[in-house]
Every structure is written in C-alpha cells, then in structure tokens.
C-alpha cells in the first residue's frame, strides 16, 4: 500500500480536528438552544379556584408550574393527571411559602407522573385527602398536615399510595396530631400490581395521640393478610417520630423486601413492628424513651446496628407465632446496642410457635435495672424459644437489679465502657467490645456508615470505636427531640370563676324559653331546649363539665365567645347517622366558628361509632380550653379503656384561630348549651387563665 505524503496527512489531521471541534460547538449550541427553547416553552399559571386549578392541571406540560394564590381554601376536589419528565417535572406550589392552607373536605388525587407538590399546609382534612393513584415518580415535599385524617375511622390513610404507584417520594413533611394513619401504602395480593420503590424520608410525625385501640400508625406498609408476602421494596429512612403514639405499631410493616433505616423514635408509646412480610432490613434506627424498640414476625429479616435506649418494656421482641402472625425464621439480630430496657433487652418467645433459625450475635446489652417497672425484672436476654448456641458472642453488662438471663455461647461479661451522651455514645479506650465481633458478611458497615472493621476485627454493638481515622462521609441521623412534658390544662387554671351550685345548679343559667330544664339529683336534665350562663366568660378560660345522653339520638351543642345568642364558637356531638350497616351513633365532634366548620375529632365515648345505644352510666367528661388562639377540647371516658391510664385526658379537637376564617379571633362572650333530645349535665366549672400563662 502506498502511504499518503506526510504534509497531506498532517493537513487531513488538521482538517479532521477542525471539523470535530466545529461539530462539538454545533452540538453544544444546539443543546443550549434546545434547553432555552424548552425553558421558554414552560409556563407558569396562577389559580385561586378549584375549577381553574383542574382546568389548568389537565393541560400542563413538562416544566410548567401551577401556582395557587395565597389564601385559605376549603373542600377543593383537585385532580392532577398531567405528566412531566425526569428533567422537567411539573411543579405545583403556593404563591409564597406556607401561604396556602387547604382544609376540611379538600382531596387531591395525583394520577400523573413526575410531579412535585410542594409547600402546602393542610388542616383538618379527611382520610385519603392526598391520593397517589397509579402515579409514578412524583414528589410530595415540604408540606404540613395538621390534625388531618378520618375522624370516624382510624384505619384510613391521610396520604395514600395506591397499587401500581412506583418510585414516589414523600419527604420533609410534618404530620401532627393525625386522626388516622398518616401515610399508608396499598399492597395487593397480586405481586404485579404492588407499587415498587416508594420512598418516605426526612419527615416528622409529632404528637399523635391514640384515639382508639387500633389504627393511627404513622406509617403502614401494606394492610396485612396474604398480601404481606409480596415485595414492595419501599424505603423508610431519616424520619423523626416524636410522641407518635397513635398505635402500638408506630411503623407497621406488612409487606416484603422493605428497608427501614436511620429513623429516630422518641417518647413513642409504641415501636417499629415487622407484622408480616419477609426479607426486610431494619438498620441504624434509634429508639429512645419509648415503650419498645423493635418487634418482629415472619422470616428472613436482618435487624442490625440499631440503638435502643431506655425502652419501657422490651428492646427487641422475637415474637412467637400465632394463627395470624408467623413466627420469625432465619432472621439475623446482630450488632445492636440496647441500654436500660425496662423489661428485657431481647425477648425470644416460644408460644404458641417458637422462633426458628434466628441468630442473635454481636449485640451489646447493658442495664442497671433502674428503669424496670416495680412488678417486673430487667433481663438482658430472655430466650424461651431455646435458640441455644444461635445466641452467641454478645456482650452483657448487668448491674443493680438487672440480670443477664440466657447468655448463650461465647458471651463476654464486662463493662463496655461507653462514653459520651445518651444516644451519642462511643466505645471508650480499652472497651472489651473492640475487635471482638464474629465476622458477618451482612454487616459491612456500622450505624454511622463506617466500613467494618476498622481494627483487627469488627466491634461488638452498633458502631465502630475509632472514627477519628476515617475520612469518608458518615450517616447523619436526625437530631433526637428533647423530652417534652405533655400539655396540662391545669397549669393554665387561674381564679375559679364559679362552679355549678350543687344544691341549685339551675341558678347559674337563664331559664329556657322552650323545652324543659329540671334538676335531677346533682344534674340538670335538659330536653329540647337552649340555655346560657347569666354571666359572660372572659376571653381566656378553662371550662369543665360532664354530660350523659339518654338516647343515641340525643345531640348536644356548646356555644362560647358568643354575642348574646348569636355567633361564637360551637362544639357539637351526639346524634345518629345512616351508615352502610344501618343507623349508628354520629361518632364525630365538630367545632364551628360563626357557622363554618373548622375542626373535628373522634367521639371516643361512643366507642368508635359501633354503639347502637349510649353506654349506661358513661358520662362524657369534657374540658374546654380557650387560650389566645388555641381552642382545645379534651375528653376522657369514665369507663377507662385498656390503652388509657386512669384519668388520662385525650385531646379530641384542636384548632388555632389565626383570624383567617370567619373574621378576627373571638374574645369574651356568652356560654350556652343547646340540647336536642334529652341529656343530663353536671359538675360545670370555669376558671380564668392565669396571667403569667397568657
């Protein structure tokens, strides 16, 4: 072959280089122009009615923004069928951050893909108020859900992820005082329909108070039953559960293949529960000052690197199998640190069916017995399933009233020399936990994301000791919420304005113009009438009373801060409604302002709407607080329920009047009662609020 002359060859190379550079510039210019064209094509639309919202939402294109003008809106029924793209999501947001409040019967149904719903506030909205319906790659972020949920049925999710909804994210939201399940994902019996890879992260679940014996989980992954063997591959991470006590299962896992990691549970009357499903990973979570830490059922789970501090009962429960819940099989419980569990650090149950094949290895367990209930012993491992040598190489340190229990094989009995504050401990120099762990391929990192081992071997417990030499990034858990004293209205009580005179309770009230008011023992019996106190109440007060309906149809109303017989706030409860299974008690307590319903809550006295007649002798015991912008109705049943301590007061209706609805906040005014049907009223007392508390 004859070669090209050198000069010609160099010329060809230069020509090719010039062409290549020119082509790259052309591609770059085209790319920039294309991006600019797309940006120019994206539009922003502003709306302030539900009709305009839905009309615009149906036509949104990738990159568009739909902006809701600042305001407070009720009962909007919104649909989002539009589709963005990964590079150009469609954004739905308020005009200004936190400037839009949706309330009451508002429902948002998301059926589109690649949407971002950002920065809205929801108050007293009902169940399924935000519904991801066959929706994919959407993000719900920086939203606040106050007092939301179904006020009649605690099992209904506030935010619902349906089947065939994949790769959605719910993050940086706050759920406060939820009345039913906060976030729930459906898990179908058909694996092909189960939503995959949904992520729930960096949210706060706060002050969720139990209203019934079941429901109100902060997060529920699946409804349970046969579907729990289907995999959802959901990720729940970096969330904070602060006094999230709506159910004994703060997180209720009822599906397979999920990852629950790096969450913080503080002061919760519940625990993280693997109720069903298989092959879940529970890693790096922190539970402190809560009822329990982790409870598990079913098979193939990996429970590693968790830190459980001062649980009132059991740190980790390996449950016995029952007819409805499978006994744990072939699970790994390793490298957890459990400190000062009130009852047992790890309990391995045997009844009705014992756990099988589960290994308990490299855990650091210590207790001083001081947190134990007076009627129970603090034991580090209680192995009633007789796992034997599958409990191995754990470090035990029991002092005071605490006992080691079933130490298994190769136990290390020594002080682990923990240093630092609770929840942020490290292994001190010379700790017997250092380099003493059995190697486990499934535990390649510690709870801070540091690769194991650092030294000659991995350390026992949840973290490696020497972190100073590690330059790689670490897992940063959310901050531990400080312990807060519960709200106590007694701290607000100032001067007692008056009680109902026991000898003549009717003397404090105006005489009714219609109906009947008669004294019956120490109570007033009212029938189809309306009365009010002769003396107006101040702007801030605490009032208490007891009420007993004589029939399911009886309905009561309390009006306060009214001008004479007009306006004011009104609490209403009782009566009946016609449900799908016949006539039931109404079951909902509502708060109105000048005729506009602003808040609602469960009627816990009527036991969840399942009663057909009032419980004999079951008086409503009510406490109403009006303090600044706060309106709060508390209630407890005189027949104490199994999940309540004696005289436990439950907040039923909470609302803050910021003057956005029905005009300015109402001040001093009259207090009245309206009785439909017949009811008994007694023990009416009123206090002004202390000046220093205002």
Residue 622 pLDDT exceeds 90: yes
Judgement on whether residues 479 and 495 belong to the same structural domain of the protein = no
Instruction: Report the pLDDT value the prediction gives residue 323, as an integer from 0 to 100.
Output: 77
Percent of the chain with pLDDT over 70: 87
Q: Which two tokens stand for residue 485?
A: 């004293």
- Give the tens place of pLDDT for each residue, 98-125: 899 999 999 999 999 999 999 999 999 9
Based on the domain organization, do 439 and 494 belong to the same domain?
no
**What is the spatial distance between Cα 324 and Cα 50, in angstroms, rounded to a whole number?**
45
Residue that terminates a domain, selected from 484, 514, 546: 484
- Beta strand residue intervals within 203-285, DSSP E: 204-209, 219-221, 235-237, 240-245, 249-254, 259-261, 264-266, 271-276, 281-283
Chain segment 385-426, per-residue pLDDT in tens: 777 669 999 999 999 989 999 999 999 999 999 998 877 788
> Residue 16 pLDDT more than 90?
no
For residue 183, being part of any structural domain is answered with no
Residue 264: inside a domain: no
Q: Does position 641 have pLDDT exceeding 70, yes or no?
A: no
Task: Please tell me whether residues 628 and 509 are part of one structural domain.
Answer: yes
414 and 542 fall within a common domain: no
Number of domains in the chain: 2
pLDDT for 465: 85
Q: Is residue 53 part of a domain?
A: no
Whether residue 592 sits in one domain with residue 579: yes
Residue 229 is assigned to a structural domain of this protein: no
Q: Over the stretch 239-259, which tens digit does the pLDDT of each residue have?
A: 999 999 999 999 999 999 999
Q: Compute the distance between CA of residue 546 and CA of residue 478 in angstroms, rounded to an integer.
A: 43
Q: Which two tokens stand for residue 395?
A: 């470090």
pLDDT tens column, 273-313: 999 999 999 999 999 999 999 999 999 999 999 999 999 99
Of 501 and 492, more confident: 492
Domain-embedded: residue 151: no
Q: Are residues 437 and 371 in the same domain?
A: yes
- 399 & 523 share domain: no
pLDDT surpasses 70 at 43: yes
With respect to residue 683, please indicate whether it lies within any of the assigned structural domains.
yes
The answer on 581 and 444 residing in a single domain is no
Q: Average pLDDT of 671-694?
A: 89
End position of a domain, from candidates 484, 513, 532:
484
What rounded mean pLDDT belongs to the chain? Answer: 88
Residue 546 phi/psi, 5° resolution? -125, 145
pLDDT at 692: 66
CA proximity to 576, closest of 611, 619, 525: 611
pLDDT of residue 34: 45
Confidence band (pLDDT; 50, 70, 90) for 135? very high
Q: Answer yes or no: do 439 and 550 share one domain.
A: no
Rounded CA separation 318/282 (Å): 14
Q: Is residue 88 part of a domain?
A: no
Higher pLDDT, 587 or 688: 688
Answer whether residue 344 is part of any domain: yes
175 pLDDT above the threshold of 60: yes
Host domain of residue 551 = 489-693
Question: Residue 436 above 90 pLDDT?
Answer: yes
**Which of the given ranges, 53-67, 472-486, 495-509, has the highest pLDDT on average?**
53-67
Considering the domain architecture, whether residues 302 and 387 belong to the same structural domain is answered as yes
Q: Do 543 and 400 share a structural domain?
A: no
- Say whether pLDDT at 693 is over 60: no
- What pLDDT is stored for residue 351 in this prediction? 78
Task: Identify whether residues 496 and 442 lie together within a single domain.
Answer: no
Which CATH number do you get for residue 557?
2.60.120.200
> Which of 484, 517, 547 is a domain's end point?
484
Instruction: State whether residue 691 is helix, strand or coil.
Output: helix
């Amino acid at each position: 072959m004859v070669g090209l002359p050198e000069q010609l060859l160099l010329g060809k190379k230069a020509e090719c280089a010039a062409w290549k550079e020119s082509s790259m510039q052309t591609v770059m210019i085209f790319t920039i122009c294309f991006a600019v064209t797309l940006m120019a094509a994206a539009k922003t639309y502003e709306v302030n009615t539900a009709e305009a919202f839905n009309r615009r939402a149906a036509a949104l294109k990738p990159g568009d923004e739909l902006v809701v003008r600042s305001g407070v809106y009720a009962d909007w029924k919104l649909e989002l069928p539009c589709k963005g793209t990964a590079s150009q999501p469609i954004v739905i947001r308020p005009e200004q951050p936190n400037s839009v409040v949706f309330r009451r019967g508002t429902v948002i149904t998301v059926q589109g893909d690649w949407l971002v719903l950002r920065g809205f506030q929801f108050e007293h909205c009902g169940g399924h108020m935000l519904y991801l319906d066959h929706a994919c790659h959407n993000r719900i972020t920086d939203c606040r859900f106050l007092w939301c949920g179904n006020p009649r049925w605690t099992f209904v999710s506030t935010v619902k992820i349906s089947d065939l909804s994949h790769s959605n994210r719910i993050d940086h939201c706050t759920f406060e005082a939820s009345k039913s399940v906060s976030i729930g994902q459906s898990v179908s019996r058909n694996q092909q329909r189960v939503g995959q890879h949904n992520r729930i992260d960096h949210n706060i679940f706060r002050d969720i108070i139990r209203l019934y014996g079941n429901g109100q989980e902060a997060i529920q992954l699946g409804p349970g039953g046969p579907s729990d063997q289907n995999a959802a591959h959901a990720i729940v991470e970096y969330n904070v559960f602060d006094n999230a006590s709506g159910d004994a299962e703060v997180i209720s896992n009822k599906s397979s293949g999920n990852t629950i990691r790096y969450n913080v549970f503080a002061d919760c009357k519940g625990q993280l529960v693997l109720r069903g499903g298989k092959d879940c990973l529970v890693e790096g979570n922190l539970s402190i000052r809560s009822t329990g830490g982790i409870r598990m059922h079913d098979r193939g789970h990996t429970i590693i690197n968790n830190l459980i501090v001062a649980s009132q009962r059991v740190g980790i429960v390996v449950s016995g199998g029952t007819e409805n819940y499978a006994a744990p099989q072939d699970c790994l419980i390793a490298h957890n640190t459990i400190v000062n569990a009130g009852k047992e650090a790890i309990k391995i149950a045997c009844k009705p069916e014992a756990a099988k094949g589960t290994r308990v290895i490299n855990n650091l367990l210590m207790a001083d017995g001081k947190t134990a209930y007076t009627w129970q012993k603090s034991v580090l491992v209680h192995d009633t399933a007789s796992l034997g040598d599958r409990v191995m190489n754990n470090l035990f340190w029991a002092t005071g009233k605490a006992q080691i229990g079933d130490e298994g094989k190769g136990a290390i009995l020594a002080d682990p020399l923990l240093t630092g504050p609770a929840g942020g401990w490290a292994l001190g120099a010379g700790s017997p936990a250092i380099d003493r762990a059995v190697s486990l391929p499934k535990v390649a990192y510690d709870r801070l994301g540091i690769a194991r081992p650092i030294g000659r071997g991995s350390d026992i417990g949840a973290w490696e000791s020497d972190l100073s030499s590690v330059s790689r990034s670490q897992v940063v858990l959310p901050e531990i919420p400080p312990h807060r004293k519960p709200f106590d209205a007694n701290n607000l009580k100032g001067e007692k304005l008056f009680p109902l005179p026991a000898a003549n309770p009717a003397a404090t009230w105006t005489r009714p113009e219609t109906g009947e008011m008669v004294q019956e023992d120490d109570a007033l019996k009212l029938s189809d009438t309306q009365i009010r106190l002769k003396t107006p109440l101040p702007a801030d007060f605490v009032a208490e009373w007891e009420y007993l309906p004589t029939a399911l149809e009886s309905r009561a109303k309390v009006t306060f801060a009214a001008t004479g017989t007009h306006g004011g706030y009104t609490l209403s409860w009782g009566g009946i409604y016609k449900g799908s299974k016949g006539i039931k008690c109404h079951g909902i307590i509502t708060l109105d302002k000048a005729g506009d319903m602003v808040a609602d809550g469960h009627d816990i006295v009527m036991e969840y709407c399942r009663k057909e007649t009032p419980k004999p002798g079951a008086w409503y015991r009510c406490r109403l607080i009006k303090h600044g912008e706060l309106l709060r109705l508390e209630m407890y049943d005189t027949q104490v329920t199994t999940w309540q301590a004696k005289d436990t007061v439950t907040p039923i209706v909470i609302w803050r009047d910021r003057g956005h609805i029905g005009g300015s906040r109402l001040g001093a005014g009259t207090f009245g009662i309206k009785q439909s049907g017949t009811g008994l009223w007694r023990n009416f007392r009123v206090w002004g609020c202390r000046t220093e508390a205002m």
